[in-house]
Structure 1
Amino acid sequence: MQVTVRYFAGARAAAGCREETAPAGRSLDDITAELADRHGDRLAAVLRVASFLVDGVTCHDRRTPLPAGSTIDVLPPFAGG
């Protein structure tokens, strides 16, 4: 069972892909650590400052296990206003 991780803007460039999957049943903290290990320092830096939506809702508890079928949106800080 999987969750889908979608990257936007600078996160997409750092990851080198638009989206990928990760195992379900793990927390957002666990998943982002795995993604940083998989893609390296550039993505790790983006993940440290990014905001995350889980199924379209801002994620405030990064330690709760995510169910299969969830979608995580990785949103780096955006310039402008």
Structure 2
Amino acid sequence: MKKSLLFTYGLLIALTLFTALISKSDFLSNSVILLIMFFSAIKFLLVAFQFMELKKANPFWRLSLSFVLGLLVLVIVLIK
């Protein structure tokens, strides 16, 4: 298996565990929610670019996906 795939997989596991740990904290301030959303967006981009081969796609699709993801995270954070 490629080292980059194993590294990405390990990073996904680490981000998931860290997100689970901070979500169990006694207080859920806006900064914790923002951090959880940021980690979720990073995990989404890692899966899309590494495992779904989006890194080989047309730049339009890469840019539009990143834009829509940023917009979605922004809307969710602003609603909270």
Task: Looking at secondary structure, tell me which structure has more helix per residue.
Answer: 2
TM-score interval for Structure 1 and Structure 2 normalised by the shorter chain:
under 0.3
1 or 2 for the larger relative contact order (CA 8 Å, sep ≥6)? 1
TM-score by length of 2: 0.24
TM-score by length of 1: 0.24
